Amino acid sequence: MPVRPRLSVLWRDRAGRFSALKAATLLALTVPALALALRWSLVGLGARPLNAAIHDLGLWGLRLLLLSLAISPARAVFGWARGLMIRRMVGLAAASYLAAHFTLYALDQGFRPLHIGHEIVHRVYLAIGFTALVGLAALAATSTNAMIRRLRRRWKQLHRLVYAVAALGLLHGLMQAKSDITQPAILVGFFAWEMLFRALPARRQSAPLVLFLLAFVAAAATAGLEAGWYAAATNLPWRRVLDANLMPELYGPRPSAWVGMVALAVAILATARSVFNRRGRAGPSAPEPVPLRG
């Protein structure tokens, strides 16, 4: 008889005990959807509410997808093994937000399958988004324990697809953003950090110096990618976009600054952890020898 998954797996650990971490994650993952629904019903979402909701859900889907990719680095840098318990949940939440993103798009198009198919085939950014969504659906469908057992080694290979899905999702986000790519550019920067981190040898991944260097490289790459995108896809002056990174007092923090600050915070925390661990290993200082009285 097939075993039906119980809803309580969402807040219980493998041993069936209540997990505060899983329950808190579940609650946190519903917040963007609830906030959107509340904003929509209480104050409205502007002149094109469906379009605004499509944007919001697309961005949250992508943020959560990148967050799920950040859980392995969090284990490597901070030894946070418990994070693995919520990785699948975060990945499935990303897939749900992006499924809702597509459903609202279909609603916006009057749920006309032929018209939607025609649009997807003829608009490159939709074709790219759709390819990413199909890939994500395949990953979500094979994320059950039964599928992990059945596919064994092939499961890991299949789930490496998540990096291609994220890259396509980012490209789709950039392409639709037209003249303001600030939000997708921030996400591209975080993805660049995650990819560079993965390329490091495992024993170097928690080395503070390497993480400081990575913060600098990821921030510079974000600035370069942002300016490069404007140069290739728009007629906005890319030199001024690049210069804006050096003038936060005029333009506010640019995507490179957000990426740099978060990556720097990771490097600082990793340094604090390594100092703390070294002290812990040294243990309390040896007791002073008591002089023998004769």
Instruction: For residue 172, state whether it binds ligand HEM (rule: CB under 6 A).
Output: yes
Instruction: For residue 51, state whether it binds ligand HEM (rule: CB under 6 A).
Output: yes
| Nearest Cα to Cα of residue 106 among 39, 57, 38 | 57
State the minimum distance, in angstroms, from the CB of residue 212 to ligand HEM. 29
What secondary structure letter does DSSP report for 79?
-
Q: Are 71 and 78 in contact (CB under 8 A)?
A: no
- Segment lying near ligand HEM (by CB under 6 A), choices 95-103, 155-163, 228-236, 258-266: 95-103
Instruction: For residue 93, state whether it binds ligand HEM (rule: CB under 6 A).
Output: no
Residue bearing tokens 């080395």: 207
Instruction: For residue 177, state whether it binds ligand HEM (rule: CB under 6 A).
Output: yes
Instruction: For residue 92, state whether it binds ligand HEM (rule: CB under 6 A).
Output: no
Distance CA 69, CA 168 (A): 15
Instruction: For residue 100, state whether it binds ligand HEM (rule: CB under 6 A).
Output: no
N residues, the chain: 294
Instruction: For residue 175, state whether it binds ligand HEM (rule: CB under 6 A).
Output: no
- Segment lying near ligand HEM (by CB under 6 A), choices 18-26, 132-140, 143-151, 191-199: 132-140
Distance CA 164, CA 161 (A): 5
Burial code (b: 16+ CB inside 10 Å, e: under 16) for 264-285 equals bebbeebeeeeeeeeeeeeeee
Tokens of 97: 């937000």
Q: Which of 62, 192, 221, 270 binds ligand HEM (CB under 6 A)?
A: 62
- Count of Cβ atoms closer than 10 Å to residue 229 Cβ: 20
Instruction: For residue 45, state whether it binds ligand HEM (rule: CB under 6 A).
Output: no
Determine whether 94 is exposed, middle or buried from the number of CB atoms within 10 Å of its CB (0-12, 13-18, 19+).
Answer: buried
Instruction: For residue 22, state whether it binds ligand HEM (rule: CB under 6 A).
Output: no
Q: Are 62 and 170 in contact (CB under 8 A)?
A: yes
Q: Which of 143, 183, 271, 274 binds ligand HEM (CB under 6 A)?
A: 183
Instruction: For residue 185, state whether it binds ligand HEM (rule: CB under 6 A).
Output: no
Instruction: For residue 55, state whether it binds ligand HEM (rule: CB under 6 A).
Output: yes
Distance CA 135, CA 162 (A): 8
- Segment lying near ligand HEM (by CB under 6 A), choices 71-79, 123-131, 137-145, 278-286: 123-131
**Which residues contact ligand HEM (rule: CB under 6 A)?**
51, 54-55, 58-59, 61-62, 98, 101-102, 105, 120, 126, 129-130, 132-133, 136, 165, 169, 172-173, 176-177, 183-184
